[in-house]
Chain A
């Protein structure tokens, strides 16, 4: 009997609903069983079996080289250019600032139409920046435009269509004309900036997708048709931009909101950071949860993870936490090798965002203390 014909009674429908739920749970159990049988080790177990030694940092190996001061509100988001060491940051003070990370100069200070910004990103060429927040729209600024009479950079394009706040945004690699947003309306959207229209909607009312706010997205640099998203529904999902009707795979494991997702440098794995205080590493082809990164505290409290990124080789996983810690994890051995939050010149508040420079030589952290800090290798490389 076709479900489109309303000949079944509500009682019959509810019965079928129960039966379908049973079938679904049964399939989930079988899938979990199959997965467990394939999880013959985790990454740390494998690395130990190979005799790997943990990364060790000396006291001056990773240092704060620069503090970028200028915002008067919490910093919520940052992004590096792919060249020339510029950073864009978004703050609750209602401004975007484009910094020269080397000289600390403020190249642009853009007053936003809506102060409640939550996400920002640089275009691949560095000519444009985008931002979005509680206004539910994505604003694009061309950095080469002339300023208006008040000295402000005008909005060159507005992308409207989300029914909830913009939590995250990222340009498609090598394409200044397309970007992807994640939203509180439970969807991700691929936009054509030239027309200002949606190309694809991932999830939502009529499609299979996240069942709660999307908090973070990360596009695969190796294959820009794939991107991962993290959500308040405690899952991360992998999407193919050619198939918006459903996620390629859903990754379960976290016990709280997935606040941050980041593709691993090899493009076949991704990391997540969650409200449950853990980071996890997943394999995108098999769905395996390869490692959990969890640091037990003496008071049994595990502060939520706000943001993560990997070093260029993937050996280091940087994770920012709500209590101001910024752990540097040895990705292979799942050990904390450094806490940037305990170093000299560390932030005085929550770490809200992280980003690695394009050449991998520096990390930038943004914080609710209104500052951004740049961390680089300041140690000696001993010759032996």
Chain B
């Protein structure tokens, strides 16, 4: 604002008129640091690729990798492959032929245990003809579905016949197991009594295993 000066005194400088200014530009540090970080990562990726490009000069062609795979695969025995091999031992072939008679559809012994381990099928052999045996290296135990009544099936050789997966419903003699559809009831102590009245969808084998509590939440009673 101009100030009128008195007669003879010098004039004061005129202040500029105030004018609104844009707010100062705050540095976008977060965005900048983010950009720096991205650039770091890119430059790191570049150095990795440069290394890889250099090392790729010494790479072998794919055909050599394929040969390595082929050699490895052909050299290694594989139990899941249907191989056809010449049997060297005549007596072994004879034993297999003797052992393996045509299968009765009534007994589904799933593996060659009848041939390889005759004692496995002792429990079944009284009642059922031996099935044809294929060499199932994996399954060493027979799963014999005994069609004769439980007492016959399980009598005497109960522990063998019913081991694990016997279909005998009443394998275990104690009556408390009659209502317990345990698949492995022969190996349990047969003290379970399981009922699941409010759980219609619970499968039959939900009940007790061994003597432990029924693990399925629908099975309410402990053994």
- A and B found bound together: yes
B65 touches A288 (CB 8 A): yes
Question: Would you call A14 an interface residue if the criterion is a C-beta within 8 Å of the partner chain's C-beta atoms?
Answer: yes
With both beta carbons as reference points, the residue of chain A lying nearest to B87 in the complex is identified as A383
Chain A to chain B: the 5 pairs with minimum beta-carbon distance, closest first: A103-B164, A46-B66, A109-B215, A313-B78, A313-B76
Question: Would you call A72 an interface residue if the criterion is a C-beta within 8 Å of the partner chain's C-beta atoms?
Answer: yes
At the interface with chain B, which of A34-42, A175-183, A295-303? A34-42
A377 touches B82 (CB 8 A): yes
At the interface with chain B, which of A58-66, A131-139, A158-166, A255-263? A58-66
B78 touches A315 (CB 8 A): yes
Which residues in B have their C-beta under 8 angstroms from that of A77?
none
With both beta carbons as reference points, the residue of chain B lying nearest to A291 in the complex is identified as B66
B134 touches A43 (CB 8 A): no
Over the window 283-300 of chain A, the binary record of Cβ atoms lying under 8 Å from chain B Cβ atoms (1 yes, 0 no) is 101111010000000000
Over the window 151-183 of chain B, the binary record of Cβ atoms lying under 8 Å from chain A Cβ atoms (1 yes, 0 no) is 000000000000111000000000000000001
Q: 22 A-B pairs, CB-CB below 8 angstroms?
A: A3-B39, A23-B46, A27-B53, A28-B49, A30-B53, A31-B56, A38-B61, A42-B66, A45-B66, A55-B82, A66-B165, A70-B206, A102-B141, A265-B76, A269-B65, A288-B59, A312-B79, A359-B79, A377-B82, A378-B110, A378-B136, A383-B85
With both beta carbons as reference points, the residue of chain B lying nearest to A357 in the complex is identified as B138
- B61-79 residues with Cβ-Cβ distance < 8 A to A are 61-63, 65-70, 72-73, 76-79
With both beta carbons as reference points, the residue of chain A lying nearest to B141 in the complex is identified as A102
B137 touches A361 (CB 8 A): yes
B42 touches A290 (CB 8 A): no
A376 touches B31 (CB 8 A): no
- Interface residues in A, total, Cβ within 8 A: 92
Which residues in B have their C-beta under 8 angstroms from that of A20?
39, 42-43, 46
Over the window 314-325 of chain A, the binary record of Cβ atoms lying under 8 Å from chain B Cβ atoms (1 yes, 0 no) is 111000000000
Which residues in A have their C-beta under 8 angstroms from that of B63?
40-41, 46
Question: Would you call A242 an interface residue if the criterion is a C-beta within 8 Å of the partner chain's C-beta atoms?
Answer: no
A103 touches B85 (CB 8 A): no
Interface of chain A: mostly helix, strand, loop or mixed: loop
Question: Would you call A253 an interface residue if the criterion is a C-beta within 8 Å of the partner chain's C-beta atoms?
Answer: no
Question: Would you call B139 an interface residue if the criterion is a C-beta within 8 Å of the partner chain's C-beta atoms?
Answer: yes
Q: In the complex the two chains form, what is the Cα distance from A331 to B69 in whole Å?
A: 10
On B, residues with C-beta under 8 Å from A are 28-29, 31-33, 35-36, 38-46, 48-50, 52-53, 56-57, 59-63, 65-70, 72-73, 76-87, 93, 110-111, 132, 134-141, 163-165, 183-184, 187, 202-203, 205-206, 209, 212-213, 215-216, 222
Which residues in A have their C-beta under 8 angstroms from that of B205?
69-70
B164 touches A102 (CB 8 A): yes
On A, residues with C-beta under 8 Å from B are 3-4, 6, 10, 13-14, 16-17, 20-21, 23-24, 27-28, 30-31, 34-35, 38-43, 45-47, 50, 52, 55-58, 60-63, 65-66, 69-70, 72, 95, 100, 102-106, 109, 111, 147, 150-151, 208, 246, 249, 264-266, 268-269, 283, 285-288, 290, 311-316, 331-332, 357, 359-363, 374, 376-384
A40 touches B61 (CB 8 A): yes
With both beta carbons as reference points, the residue of chain B lying nearest to A30 in the complex is identified as B53
With both beta carbons as reference points, the residue of chain A lying nearest to B133 in the complex is identified as A380
User: Given A20-B39, A50-B70, A381-B82, are A102 and B65 neighbors across the interface (CB < 8 Å)?
Assistant: no
A24 touches B42 (CB 8 A): yes
CB proximity of A135 to chain B, nearest CB, Å: 20
User: Given A24-B42, A313-B77, are A377 and B28 neighbors across the interface (CB < 8 Å)?
Assistant: no
Which residues in B have their C-beta under 8 angstroms from that of A331?
69, 73
Which residues in B have their C-beta under 8 angstroms from that of A287?
52, 56, 59
Which residues in A have their C-beta under 8 angstroms from that of B134?
60, 377-381
Among B39, B52, B77, B79, the residue within 8 A (CB) of A16 is B39
With both beta carbons as reference points, the residue of chain B lying nearest to A100 in the complex is identified as B164
Starting from the known contacts A38-B59, A102-B139, 20 additional A-B residue pairs (CB-CB under 8 Å) come to A34-B56, A39-B61, A39-B62, A52-B70, A66-B165, A103-B187, A106-B215, A151-B222, A246-B44, A265-B72, A269-B65, A287-B56, A311-B80, A313-B73, A314-B72, A332-B73, A361-B79, A376-B136, A380-B135, A384-B86
